[in-house]
Structure 1
Amino acid sequence: MLTALLAAVAVWSLLVGAFPAPVPVVTGGLLAVVLALHRHEHGAVLHMDHLARNSHWSKVNPMLKTMSCLLLLCLCLMARTVWPPLSLAIVLAVLSRAGGVRFRTYQALLAAPAAFLSVSALALVWTYSASDSGWISIRFGTGYLVIGAAAQATARLVTARALGAVSCLYFLSLSTPLPEVLEVLRRLHAPAVVVDLALLIYRYIFLLLATCETMRDAAASRLGFGGLRRSVRTTGIIYGNLLARSFRRAQACFDAMESRCCTGSIRFWTRPKPVRPMHAAVLCLLVGGMVAALVCGG
């Protein structure tokens, strides 16, 4: 609900004044209703690798997907208007849905980035000024909180670029299992220590999320969140125990690796996936479309 409210206020702030009066209100209201009706799907982040393995796009060559997504991300950040990044975000969301990811799951994964983007957009679009010039001005202290045309245009562009970049990364992570991404990094001659650290950090993020969710469910079953005071106390206990458990689990993992004479390099067997003309054509069409949009003034 908080994400829906933030997104609605951010959209209204980005559109007010630049479009006819009903458009910002209706657009923000519709977005809030959509986000509020589709409830958060718990555990979506924990199953990202499972979604990637079961995706129809997992059969595509990982090097082709990785390089295409990185190129699309760079082109997205070079956009001069909001339409190319927004169009790319919509297309990649559709492709992720075609790959087997449900819309509700995709929305749940976008909840955290959407909240961050909404807060960032509000921080960019609202400025403090000594005068009440602008589309909207609110008296605050000795000055005014103002929404101006220049700040609004900058906020819209930054938000669109960020949304397009997040969509590129989500398409890659929801269609490519981690071992294949690490193999691509090794082929690109990334330092071995960076690849191994990426694997360990990635794994422990999900382990800690799963542990935290289990502890939170156990506390909720014992009415540990009944009231504000009890909720704050329970949250502190959960995070304190989570820190202690994370240290114990890390030490156990290190001991297990040493007992198996680990040399520091972690390897996975990956099945070779050739580059197919249809897959290359689809990704080249996406890249070509973004290039054409930038050349034509986007």
Structure 2
Amino acid sequence: MFAIDQYAYTSRLRPVHPGEKLAFALVTMVICLASVSPAAPLAVLLIMTGAVLFRAGIPWRFYLKLMTLPLSFLIIGVLTVAVSISTGPPPPLLSGRTLGGITIGFTAASLQLAVLLFVKSLGAVSCLYFLSLTTPMVEVISLLRRFKVPALFVELMSLIYRFIFVIMETAEKMYVAQSSRWGYASIKTAYISLGQLVANLFGKSYHRSQALFTALQSRCYNGDLRVLETPRAPSRSNIMLIAAVDLFLAVLALYTGGGLIARIHP
């Protein structure tokens, strides 16, 4: 089981109705992505981080580790937006150089856009982490069934989610076996071992997935995976708190940048 799933099952927000957590995460993410100023995404990031750390009781070291995972992709993406390249008349640059008729540098507009995309991405990621760290996957799938999502999509989602654990477990066992034989003692052997691991992972994972599917069929699997659901009643106080927080974020987004209205009426 992934550490994320372990924390989802032991979170202090586990007893909360999953629909409330799903609605809070999705609505807050929409507000974060619709904002045209960094104030609302920063507020979303702070609120979600506080909810995960102090309300759900997730260790801050683990949460910080999760937040650093997408940073490499974000930094690369933000740099491509921040750097301005021009072959015509050079734009007003804050810093840059012209080489062979090509001007490369940073403008105020490109830096503002890069900062906005960066905080938007972190805010949206924090919303997803809030949902995944407080709501087990089986409850999310149960909600999708209640929302009348096509059964084929739900079953594929459930099976793929379970097969992820099969692939991770297989890769971990292969890595431990290679490490015990000094497969990663040097950079050269590490590359060779990694190539062998990737090459053999698909075959072993496919074999394990077939064994898992055979086990499901032996238990009368007919294309519908059902799990035991714990009935939970929605909380009026939680709904009011969610509405108040999202209303605050929406007002902040509109006040600081105009939100989507600024795109329609510049």
Q: For 1:234 and 1:64, locate their aligned partners in 2 and report how far apart those are by CA, in whole Å.
A: 46
Counterpart selection for 2:53 from 92, 97, 106: 97
CA distance 1:112–1:140, shift in 2 (3 Å):
farther
Q: For 2:118 and 2:241, locate their aligned partners in 1 and report how far apart those are by CA, in whole Å.
A: 26
Counterpart selection for 1:234 from 165, 188, 193: 193
Letter in structure 2 aligned against 1:289:
F
Match of 1:296 in 2: 255
* 1:204-283 paired onto structure 2 within 5 Å: 204-283=163-242
SS in 1 for 2:85: strand
In terms of mean alpha carbon deviation, does 75-84 or 126-135 score higher? 126-135
Higher RCO, Cα 8 Å, sep 6+: 2
Q: For 1:187 and 1:240, locate their aligned partners in 2 and report how far apart those are by CA, in whole Å.
A: 40
Deviation string 1:173-224 (CA, Å, 9 cap, x unpaired) is: 1000111101111111101111111111122223322332332233233321
Match of 2:72 in 1: 115
Structure 2 length as normaliser, TM-score?
Answer: 0.88
In terms of mean alpha carbon deviation, does 105-114 or 142-151 score higher? 142-151
Deviation at 1:275, TM superposition (A): 1.6
Does residue 86 (structure 1) correspond to residue 42 (structure 2)? The answer is: yes
Does residue 191 (structure 1) correspond to residue 150 (structure 2)? The answer is: yes
Does residue 58 (structure 1) correspond to residue 14 (structure 2)? The answer is: yes
Q: For 1:113 and 1:227, locate their aligned partners in 2 and report how far apart those are by CA, in whole Å.
A: 28
Deviation string 1:62-109 (CA, Å, 9 cap, x unpaired) is: 111111211111111110100111111111111101212111111122
Q: For 2:173 and 2:46, locate their aligned partners in 1 and report how far apart those are by CA, in whole Å.
A: 34
CA distance 1:163–1:202, shift in 2 (3 Å):
same
Q: For 2:163 and 2:99, locate their aligned partners in 1 and report how far apart those are by CA, in whole Å.
A: 45
Deviation string 1:38-57 (CA, Å, 9 cap, x unpaired) is: xxxxxxx9211110111111
Deviation string 1:117-170 (CA, Å, 9 cap, x unpaired) is: 111111111132234851221466652431111111111112221111111111
Q: For 1:176 and 1:238, locate their aligned partners in 2 and report how far apart those are by CA, in whole Å.
A: 33
CA distance 1:204–1:136, shift in 2 (3 Å):
farther
**8 Å Cα contact 2:91-2:107 kept in structure 1:** no
Q: For 1:141 and 1:151, locate their aligned partners in 2 and report how far apart those are by CA, in whole Å.
A: 22
**8 Å Cα contact 1:85-1:160 kept in structure 2:** yes
Match of 1:37 in 2: none
CA distance 1:138–1:216, shift in 2 (3 Å):
farther
**8 Å Cα contact 2:18-2:140 kept in structure 1:** yes
**8 Å Cα contact 2:39-2:256 kept in structure 1:** no
**8 Å Cα contact 2:166-2:209 kept in structure 1:** no
SS in 2 for 1:261: coil
Aligned-residue identity in percent: 30
In terms of mean alpha carbon deviation, does 138-147 or 181-190 score higher? 138-147
Match of 2:27 in 1: 71
Letter in structure 2 aligned against 1:111:
T
**8 Å Cα contact 1:208-1:242 kept in structure 2:** yes
Structure 1 length as normaliser, TM-score?
Answer: 0.79
Query: What are the ranges of 5 or more consecutive residues in structure 2 without an aligned counterpart?
Result: 258-266
Deviation at 1:291, TM superposition (A): 1.5
* 1:16-31 paired onto structure 2 within 5 Å: none
RMSD: 1.9
Structure 1 runs of 4+ with >6 Å offset: none
Does residue 126 (structure 1) correspond to residue 118 (structure 2)? The answer is: no
Match of 1:174 in 2: 133
Query: What are the ranges of 5 or more consecutive residues in structure 1 without an aligned counterpart?
Result: 1-44
Counterpart selection for 2:2 from 46, 49, 53: 46
**8 Å Cα contact 1:46-1:210 kept in structure 2:** no
